[in-house]
């Protein structure tokens, strides 16, 4: 089945939420549930102190002051809840100049063989729209990164129709979170409380408020369909996947808007949908946002923990090769010299099964936990090494922008017994691949697309440095080791990283 996922903002729509702007008609039939009462909430008392303890640097509140809605049947009404939260929801309009050469703008289907415009560049103004929500009285607003990252002009529109210009305070493409700042002046902004996304469960009611297709302050309701959706890496571009799935209707324009629990607290940031069904929506957990919002405000970018290891998933085949009873944990393919992992004594081939006393089921769970760990914190890491469990202490470093790794490929139509063709690594290869004089190993120069090597993800340009945990010196050495191995376990160098590959033999 073909699957297509698109951004909830598609590139055109975004949603912002802001609580309390100007005079909003009070229509709540219940005492204390109108917008006027929302302004009377103490946003800076004990709530702030408690939140500071849980989330250092917090500049938002965690108590909504809204009595929990208690649905008595299906259908029921979320009107009072929506009325209280609506003043904190905002619409975001963006404008950008797109420049291109030729008669057709970027992304337009090619046609008619039109040549570039002689000697010139064309441009047009592109407008976008989305959603967001206000989290502090001094004008900080949360939305999606993809809503505003390329914008030259950003305008925030509140429930009462008032508009304010906004600037980007911080961006984090890895989680698709952005923090905006408006100057409220004499406008008394109302904020929305941030809840606890770890407390919600599949089946809980949630409400989404946003601007789908420009229809401002649209309210939809549904349930949490699933939590900790981490299997979307091949669909969405963000590096950190831990989505809340909901069937509350989300459409283009909802991007950046809040997913709200029955106490009026934000538990997620609506981000993506599945194009074929608007009942499959995905929200970034608010706890993930809490981890980075202080850094976005202070530094304009996220601060994350870092180990300095290259990881790969633990498959059933690899688990068997490493003597594990089941496929679990994250396998270390390489350790960066001078990194926190190297200082802690981690080694290539270790399988990480726990970090900071939290179990590690897969690579993504480790990446999320390490990223959320405070920089310079000394914590425990449990690994399986040579089928024995060991506990090490590691001081978490700070993740900087990762370098772009170049790939090396060479065409060769022929394949060997495993569907690959190899030769010894030369000094020229070492120089071209940046190996700094390291010439040990065997270079893969061709892979048969239908052979066992290709099926095992061996690629042209890989350097085979170990087989069955033993160093490979040259082609003759590799051939001898392959002949003697029933299920070869390769360690290959790819770019600046190494990874483990269980090589299958050709049938027959």
Q: What is the CATH number of the domain that holds 212?
A: 2.40.10.120
Catalytic residue among 255, 283, 365, 456: 255
Please indicate, yes or no, whether residues 133 and 211 belong to a single structural domain of this protein. Answer: yes
**Does pLDDT of 10 surpass 50?**
no
Residue 264's pLDDT band (cuts 50, 70, 90)? very high
Catalytic annotation on 255? yes
CB 282 within 8 A of CB 273: yes
| Structural domain boundaries enclosing 321 | 305-398
**Does pLDDT of 180 surpass 50?**
yes
Least confident of 308-317, 448-457, 483-492: 448-457
More confident residue, 426 or 475: 475
Residue 253 sits at φ, ψ, to 5 deg, of 110, -20
Radius of gyration, CA atoms only, the chain? 27
Average pLDDT (408-427) is 57
For position 439, what pLDDT does the model report?
A: 58
Average of per-residue pLDDT values in the chain: 78
Please indicate, yes or no, whether residues 6 and 131 belong to a single structural domain of this protein. Answer: yes
**Does pLDDT of 489 surpass 70?**
yes
**Does pLDDT of 423 surpass 50?**
yes
**Does pLDDT of 44 surpass 60?**
no
Hey, what long-range contacts does 43-46 have (CB within 8 A, 24 or more apart)? Answer: 43/137, 43/191
DSSP sequence for 179-196: EEEE--TT---B--EE--
For position 266, what pLDDT does the model report?
A: 96
**Does pLDDT of 263 surpass 80?**
yes
Least confident of 175-179, 236-240, 345-349, 451-455: 236-240
Which of 293, 327, 358 terminates a domain? The answer is 293
Catalytic residue among 62, 64, 146, 456: 146
Please indicate, yes or no, whether residues 243 and 263 belong to a single structural domain of this protein. Answer: yes
Please indicate, yes or no, whether residues 21 and 166 belong to a single structural domain of this protein. Answer: yes
| Percent above pLDDT 90 for the chain | 32
Alpha-carbon gap, residue 216 to 139, rounded angstroms: 20
For position 310, what pLDDT does the model report?
A: 82
**Helical pair 363-372 and 286-299, crossing angle rounded to 10 deg:** 40
Question: 56-102, pLDDT tens digit by residue?
Answer: 888 888 888 888 877 655 557 888 899 999 999 999 999 887 765 55
Say what the alpha-carbon torsion angle 411, 412, 416, 420 is, to the nearest 10 degrees: 0
For position 239, what pLDDT does the model report?
A: 67
Which of 230, 263, 293 terminates a domain? The answer is 293
Catalytic annotation on 176? yes
The CATH number covering residue 365 comes to 2.30.42.10
| Ranges 8-12, 190-194, 324-328, 426-430, most confident | 190-194
Please indicate, yes or no, whether residues 222 and 358 belong to a single structural domain of this protein. Answer: no
Question: 184-220, pLDDT tens digit by residue?
Answer: 988 889 899 999 999 999 999 999 999 888 888 899 9
pTM above 0.75, yes or no: no
Catalytic residue among 176, 350, 429, 448: 176
Please indicate, yes or no, whether residues 288 and 314 belong to a single structural domain of this protein. Answer: no
Please indicate, yes or no, whether residues 274 and 314 belong to a single structural domain of this protein. Answer: no
Q: Which two tokens stand for residue 259?
A: 């997913």
Catalytic annotation on 197? no
**Does pLDDT of 105 surpass 80?**
no
Residue 157 sits at φ, ψ, to 5 deg, of -110, 130
508 falls within a domain: no
CB 180 within 8 A of CB 169: yes
For position 42, what pLDDT does the model report?
A: 40
DSSP β-bridge partners for residue 93: 155
Please indicate, yes or no, whether residues 36 and 128 belong to a single structural domain of this protein. Answer: yes
Provide the number of structural domains found in the chain: 3
For position 25, what pLDDT does the model report?
A: 35
CB 380 within 8 A of CB 359: no
**Does pLDDT of 461 surpass 80?**
yes
DSSP sequence for 304-330: -EE--EEEEE--HHHHHHTT-SS--SE
């Amino acid at each position: 089945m073909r699957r297509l996922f698109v951004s909830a903002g598609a590139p055109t729509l975004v949603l912002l939420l802001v609580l309390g702007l100007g005079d909003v008609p009070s229509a709540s039939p219940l005492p204390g549930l109108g917008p006027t009462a929302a302004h009377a909430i103490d946003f800076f008392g004990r709530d702030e102190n408690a939140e500071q303890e849980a989330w250092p640097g917090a500049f938002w509140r965690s108590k909504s002051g809204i009595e929990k809605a208690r649905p008595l049947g299906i259908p029921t009404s979320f009107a009072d809840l929506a009325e209280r939260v609506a003043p904190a929801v905002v619409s975001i309009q963006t404008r950008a100049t797109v420049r291109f050469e030729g008669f057709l703008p970027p992304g337009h289907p090619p046609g008619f063989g039109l040549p570039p415009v002689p000697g010139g560049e064309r441009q047009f103004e592109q407008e976008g729209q989305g959603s967001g929500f206000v989290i502090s009285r001094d004008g900080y607003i949360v939305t999606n990164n993809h809503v505003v990252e390329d914008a030259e002009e950003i305008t925030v529109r509140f429930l009462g129709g008032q508009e304010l210009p906004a600037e980007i305070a911080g961006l984090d493409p890895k989680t698709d979170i952005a923090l905006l700042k408006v100057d409220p002046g004499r406008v008394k902004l109302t904020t929305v409380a941030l809840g606890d996304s770890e407390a919600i469960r599949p089946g809980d009611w949630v409400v989404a408020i946003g601007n789908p297709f420009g229809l401002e302050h649209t309210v939809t309701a549904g349930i949490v369909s699933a939590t900790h959706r981490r299997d979307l890496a091949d669909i969405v571009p963000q590096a950190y996947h831990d989505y809340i799935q909901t069937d509350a209707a989300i459409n283009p324009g909802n991007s950046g808007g809040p997913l709200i629990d029955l106490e009026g607290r934000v538990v997620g940031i609506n981000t993506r949908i599945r194009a074929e069904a608007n009942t499959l929506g995905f929200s970034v957990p608010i706890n993930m946002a809490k981890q980075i919002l202080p850094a976005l405000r202070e530094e304009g970018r996220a601060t994350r923990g870092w180990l300095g290891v290259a990881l790969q998933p633990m498959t059933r085949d690899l688990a068997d090769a490493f003597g594990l009873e089941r496929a679990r944990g994250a396998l270390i393919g390489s350790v960066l010299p001078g990194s926190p992992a190297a200082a802690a004594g981690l080694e290539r081939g270790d399988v990480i099964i726990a970090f900071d006393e939290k179990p590690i089921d897969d690579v993504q769970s480790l990446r999320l936990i390490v990223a959320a760990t405070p920089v310079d914190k000394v914590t425990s890491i449990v690994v399986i090494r040579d089928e024995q469990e060991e506990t090490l202490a590691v001081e978490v470093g700070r993740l900087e922008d990762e370098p772009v790794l170049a790939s090396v490929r060479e065409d060769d139509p022929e394949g060997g017994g495993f569907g690959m063709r190899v030769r010894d690594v030369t000094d020229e290869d070492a120089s071209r691949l940046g190996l700094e004089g390291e010439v040990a190993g065997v270079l893969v120069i061709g892979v048969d697309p239908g052979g066992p090597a290709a099926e095992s993800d061996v690629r042209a340009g890989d350097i085979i440095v170990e087989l069955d945990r033993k160093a490979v010196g040259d082609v003759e050495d590799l051939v001898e080791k392959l002949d003697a191995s029933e299920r070869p376990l390769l360690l290959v160098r790819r770019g600046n990283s190494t990874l483990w590959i269980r090589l299958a033999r050709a049938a027959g």
